[in-house]
Every structure is written in structure tokens, then in C-alpha cells.
Amino acid sequence: MPMRPPVTMPCTTPFASLPVRSVAVKTVRSKKEKTMDVLQYSPQALSEPPSFAPGYVSTVARSPRKPLVRIPQTLTEVTGPADFGERLLRAPVHDMTREGKGEPLGERIIVSGHVLDDRGHPVPNTVVEVWQCNSAGRYVHKKDQHDAPLDPNFTGQGRVVTDEEGRYRFVTIKPGAYPWRNHYNAWRPAHIHFSLFGPCFATRLITQMYFPGDPLIDIDPIACAVPSEARNRMVSRFDIDTTENEWALGYVYDIVLRGRNATPMENPQ
């Protein structure tokens, strides 16, 4: 086996030593006490999956049927968990192939990308939580009954923080496809689950990253709950520059969170 090259990690800072996020204060306050109008983050996209998508059978009894109540974002929604020091979440894991005593089986990959807002601004110092099954398509989860082997050297959970340019990077094993019981011969395309916070409550996102060229994507009811042009945004791309010689294939996956106007509302006075 070739020598493992040194890995350059943009995200090796432990959560506890992260700088306090510098967020430009965009709150507009009047002189009257208790008044606080806040700049709004962009609305939910029309391309979001609906809560009710009957092809994904579990949504049938788990989707609201009354219309959502539209509310303005208030101070509650434009704030959110920001101090991810040691008090919140679990320890960072940048290399999911080093959680066991030996090397996990499967195709070693590097996944990296930028977390941006919809105006193209980087989202720095935000936690990215990831989890996935092993290369055989099996999760380390007591309710996963798929008849595929567990890998004693692979758990499949990681946690990284974006750097000042909004970049993240982690090393893992390419996950396998796995069957589920949604319909006859149902198989999930290979995917990695992503959970992000962004700057506030309104920017929270949980999604799944898929792999290019996977024939299962376009017949998967979960991926297909998103219209096809938007579905492509969840598919990573192979990248030879992220790939490391004689060591691991590289995939790039950029994530776009809701943003808001950089220019504060003009004060009429």
C-alpha cells in the first residue's frame, strides 16, 4: 500500500477554539423601546420538496394538511445557535476512516465544498454534521435490518466546521446503495446526510448529497420529491483537483443556504 500523504485540512480547529462569529449587525431599531424590525432572509424556495409526496409512503400520515401560516421573521428566527463551543454538539470528526482500529472497507473519498448564502457570500464557522451507511449499504443503527455486513472499522458519522471562506472538507468511504421497504425493489441511491445551521434559526438545512451518474437518483421517491432541475443541486461532482494521487477520489458539493440583502434598509430619516 502506498504511503498515505499528509492531508491538508482546512477545518482542523476544535469547536472550542472557534472565534466568535463576526456577524455584521443588520438590525434596525427605532428609538421606541422594545421595537426591533429585522431584515428578512429570503423565503423558502418553491423548489423545496412538499411535505406530502405520496411516492414516499411515510409522508402520507406525516404531512400537515392545513396550509402553513406565513409569519415574518422576528428576532427569534434571525438568531440561532451560534456558539458551538464545547457546550454544544459532539467532537469534530474530519476523517471518518480513522474511527476504528483499522481501515474501513470500501472506496476512500474526500468530500469538500463551500457553504454559501444565496447571494454568494461564504457562510464561515458553521457546523456541518454528516452521517452515512458503510460501503456495503448498512448503517450502524439498531433499526437497520438490511442483510449487509457491518464494518467494525466504520461508524459513519462526522462533524466539521466551515473556515473563513465557508469551506469544509472531510474524508470518508463511499456509501453503498441500500434497499428500503417503500415499494417493491426500492433502493436508495448512495447518499451522505448533511445537517447545517448557518447563521440563524431560519437558515437551518438538512439534506442529502448524492453521487454523479447514479441511476437510482431519478427513480428515488425522496430525491424525486424535488423537481429535477433543483434535484441536480443535491448531486456532488467528481473533481480531479480534489482527488489525491494514489489515495482517494474527490467529490465537490457546494451548499447554498438562505441569505439576505447585504444592504440594510435605508432609514427614512
Partner 1 sequence: MSDTLVSEVRPLTPWQTVGPFFHYALPWEGGENLLREGVLGERIIIRGRVLDAMDQPVSDAMVEIWQASSSGRYDHPEDNRTEVPADPAFIGFGRCPTNEDGVFTFHTVRPGPVPGPGNTEQAPHIAISLFGRGLLRRLVTRLYFPESEANAHDPILDLVGPERADTLIAKRDEESGGVPTYWFDIHIQGENETVFFDV
Residues 141-170 that bind partner 1 (CB under 8 A): 141, 143-144, 155-157
Question: Are the C-beta atoms of 103 and 243 separated by less than 8 Å?
Answer: no
Distance linking the first and last C-alpha atoms of the chain: 70
Nearest to 13 by CA among 124, 155, 137, 148: 124
Give whichever of 12 and 261 is closer to partner 1, judged by the CB atom. 261
3-state DSSP call for residue 154?
coil
Which part of the chain contacts partner 1 (CB under 8 A), choosing from 9-17, 104-112, 224-232, 236-244? Answer: 224-232
Nearest to 126 by CA among 174, 179, 195, 67: 195
User: Quick check: is 251 catalytic?
Assistant: no
User: Quick check: is 193 catalytic?
Assistant: yes
Give whichever of 35 and 245 is closer to partner 1, judged by the CB atom. 35
User: Quick check: is 191 catalytic?
Assistant: yes
User: Quick check: is 188 catalytic?
Assistant: yes
Tell me which of 9, 10, 13, 89 binds partner 1, using CB under 8 A. 89
Residues 6+ apart with CB under 8 A from 41: 73, 77, 78, 200, 202, 203, 258, 259, 260
Q: Which of positions 69-88 make contact with partner 1 (CB under 8 A)?
A: 69-83, 87-88
Which part of the chain contacts partner 1 (CB under 8 A), choosing from 10-18, 167-175, 211-219, 257-265? Answer: 257-265
User: Quick check: is 159 catalytic?
Assistant: no
Q: Would you please indicate which residues are annotated as catalytic (active-site) residues?
A: 139, 178, 188, 191, 193
